Amino acid sequence: MKTTALILTCIAIAFTSCVQESEITLLVENPLDTERNDARILVTRNELSDQVKIPSGKLPMLTDPAGNPVPCQADDMDGDGRWDELFALTDLAPAEQKAITLSFTDPASYPSFVVRTNIRLGANEPGYPELENADRLEGVSYDNHSRTGEVYQMEGPAWENDHVGFRNYLDQRNGMDIFGKHTSEMVLDSVGIAGRQSYHEPDQWGMDILKVNTSLGAGSIGYMYNDSIYRVGDHGSGTYQLVFEGPQRSRMNLAFSNWKVEEHTLHVDHRIDIVAGTRCYESAVTYSGSGERMDLVPGIVNMHSDSLFVESLNDQYTMLMTHDLQAEDTSLLAMALVVPSGLLVEYGQTRDLGEGVTQTYYARLAAEPEQPVPYRFYALWEKEDPRWASRAEVVSFLKREAGRLTHPASVQLVTD
């Protein structure tokens, strides 16, 4: 299994052998009176450099008070060969404060952690070699999309964690799809290859559970301009880039160039993160090339659902959710957009037939040039967890998620 470019997968050697030029304590605190699994810790290189001298050629790592390694990774965000962020996950009891030690070690001595996220774009050729960069197929739409499967494994990049998977059609459809999973193992490296069962049919690991057609599928994007929705990427050119990949989180970017909206020619970047332990992927979308306001429109396919549930989760976040027998095997599936309430202009429904975007519930999010707009897309399948057969359980879960978003674990750096 792959890791970030900066972390070598190896068996951890004894930590006492690591040369530690600098140490710092992180005081990580849960501000909520409820238990948090996989609470996020994020420390930037710049934050650390204000406190300690960062040794050249070493990577930061974390250990708990008992000396056990905390699952973490050092990520190169800009491709310059130097780590920029330290990311980790830890469990916290209600209102707990935990002291975690940060030290530096050689890359070859970095511990191996259970791999809980994965991004995969394979070329459809012998050996299915993995691609870190790729061009979108042009001239491919809904009537000739078989071409995409001839070029790319799973028709484009796929990403997963220990609960759910997704994929993108790397052509002018720019659709988003869902892989329902029965397993916490990373499986998508070997899905969609010759000799394996079709991912459209149930398998031991799960299956493709969504039909997208000409909708915005599982959080695909458009922009609204002059009261019309324009699908991002239906012309122009596009690229895929793997930004980094690690056991706790992974990131990819979809870029769209020379995309025209009426008289405007735009560039759009769609950053996608997948983090261990979640049932969602996280998006940040930015456009440039015009000073005109164009609002972002992520959507949910409504082909097998006739009700959209819209509810404020707390004072910061709103959900737009469907919950129906809408998985391809006719089981219960909840799909939800969780968006910042302050950006939600309106929500609506497209027509079912005709040109352009159809069969979609959508959120209209206020956007400005060069300003990233965030949203999350959740997929909760009853065969992954029977709780998701209950709409009330889904809503309760999303409210807890909104609480975690609004009140993240705090991280304080303390030097010796």
Q: pLDDT tens, 314-356?
A: 999 999 999 999 999 999 999 999 999 999 999 999 999 999 9
Every domain of the chain and the residues it spans: 15-113, 129-302+340-374
pLDDT of residue 302: 98
pLDDT of residue 416: 66
* 109, HSE (Cβ side, Cα atoms, 13 Å): 18
367 pLDDT exceeds 60? yes
Give dist(CA 209, CA 201) in Å, integer. 9
pLDDT of residue 345: 98
* Residue for token pair 């079912």: 352
Give dist(CA 3, CA 59) in Å, integer. 14
Give dist(CA 295, CA 367) in Å, integer. 5
Angle (nearest 5°) at CA 161 between 60 and 63? 25
User: Pick the residue with more confidence: 198 or 14?
Assistant: 198
Neighbouring CB atoms inside 10 A of 49's CB total 10
For 116-164, the pLDDT digits (tens) are 999 999 999 999 999 999 999 999 988 888 999 999 999 999 999 999 9
pLDDT of residue 60: 97
Residues 6 or more apart from 46 whose CB is under 8 A from it? none
Q: Find the mean pLDDT for residues 76-95.
A: 97
Sign of the torsion formed by the C-alpha atoms of 290, 291, 293 and 298 = positive
- The mean of the pLDDT values for the chain is 94
What topology does CATH give the domain 15-113?
A: Immunoglobulin-like (2.60.40)
Q: Which among 90, 96, 94 has a CA at the least distance from the CA of 35?
A: 94
pTM: 0.94
For 228-238, the pLDDT digits (tens) are 999 999 999 99
